[in-house]
Amino acid sequence: MGIRIGVIGIGGLGHLQATTYDTTDDVTIVGGVDVAPEARDLFERDFDAPAYDHYRELIHEHGDELDAVTIITPHTLHYEQAKACIEADLHVLVEKPMVTDIAHAVDLIETARERDRVLQVGYQRHFHPAFREIRRIIQDGRIGDVHMVNAYVGQDWVDVHRGSWRMNPTLSGGGQLYDTGSHLFDALLWTTDATPEAVSARITFEEPEIDVNSALSLQLTRDGEPLIASVGITGDGAESEPSEGYVFWGSQGRLVYADGEIAVSERNTLTYRTEITSGADFNTLNKRKLANFVASIEGTAEPAVPGEVGLRVTALTEAAYESAETERTVMVQPLIEEAYADRE
């Protein structure tokens, strides 16, 4: 019978994901959801499946026919939609950020665990050949014990998204930190396999609650040892596409990644350089992400980006906002522990 999928949010990326599912063996598109009539009309024409203007209609009309949903909607809507779907015993792939509230992240994780459902987050750098190679090199100990990281991401985010829901904090939950910055947080934590412990942040805002520039000092731990990171994120760059880079400093060398190229220097000697020329385009990464979700439901693979990953990024982001507001260092793990305690 295969996997039967519903798509919540079928404009843009949602339509692309539906197209990918439609060409995947043993996957059937059951229905879609969007507030825009034109998106619903296009979906029904392209996939010969009904589309609704509210996710509860999809669940009510087709709950018995569905195995899973993909959620591609504004950030602050994710929690309500994902919670309802999991409680309807559906597996859920939710685009980043998973949610914009730590307690909501914990509740989704625990609800999915209690109902034995897959909860996966759409951070696609886990499928990116450059970031997979960075993680491998670090785990292999090529540059020794990693003790510091410098990272940045920047783009003309404000001008590109002005007037869209991303500039509305009631829908976006914030600005560049919850948008492209969320990918950087995820990549930094995943490549180093680190845990966020504390953050000190200075943030400037384009308008109330919409952050545009962030300078962050992070305290992480890796294998029980301290790892510090300095992070710069800007949404007022010169180009619409993100420019992103990392320097990983280890006890035996350093790894630099920028503009698709990885360079490793060990003891002052360049020992490895590679340029990622294939397998890093958006469509390929999207296909890998959805394939992993389907395989996770079928039980033939583990979720590459489980809900716990989304929790770490949300907690780090919320701690950064709190630090900027209070002008003090904020501890991350107590925020997570408090959310778990409150749920009991």
Phi, psi of 109 (to 5 degrees): -60, -45
Task: Please give the torsion angle defined by the CA atoms of residues 204, 210, 214 and 218, in that order, rounded to the nearest 10 degrees.
Answer: 130
Cα–Cα distance for residue pair 256/11, rounded to 1 Å = 36
pLDDT in tens, 83-131: 999 999 999 999 999 999 999 999 999 999 999 999 999 999 999 999 9
**Fold of the 3-123+284-304 domain:** Rossmann fold (3.40.50)
Residue for token pair 């993909």: 70
Copy the structure tokens of residue 322. 């709190």
Taking residue 189's Cβ as centre, other Cβ atoms within 10 Å add up to 21
Give the residue from 239, 258, 223, 251 showing the smallest Cα distance to 151.
Answer: 258
Ordered by start, the domain boundaries in the chain are 3-123+284-304, 125-278+314-331
CATH 1.10.260.40 fits 125-278+314-331, yes or no: no
pLDDT digits (tens, 9 = 90+) for 220-262: 999 999 999 999 999 999 998 999 999 999 999 999 999 899 9
146, 249 contact by CB (below 8 A): yes
SS3 13: helix
Residue 75, CB-side half-sphere exposure with 13 Å CA sphere = 27
Contact 327, 321 (CB under 8 A): no
Tell me the whole-structure pTM to 2 decimals. 0.96
- 323 near 314, Cβ under 8 Å? no
The pLDDT of residue 1 is above 70: no
Determine the Cα–Cα distance for residues 122 and 286; give it in Å rounded to an integer: 9
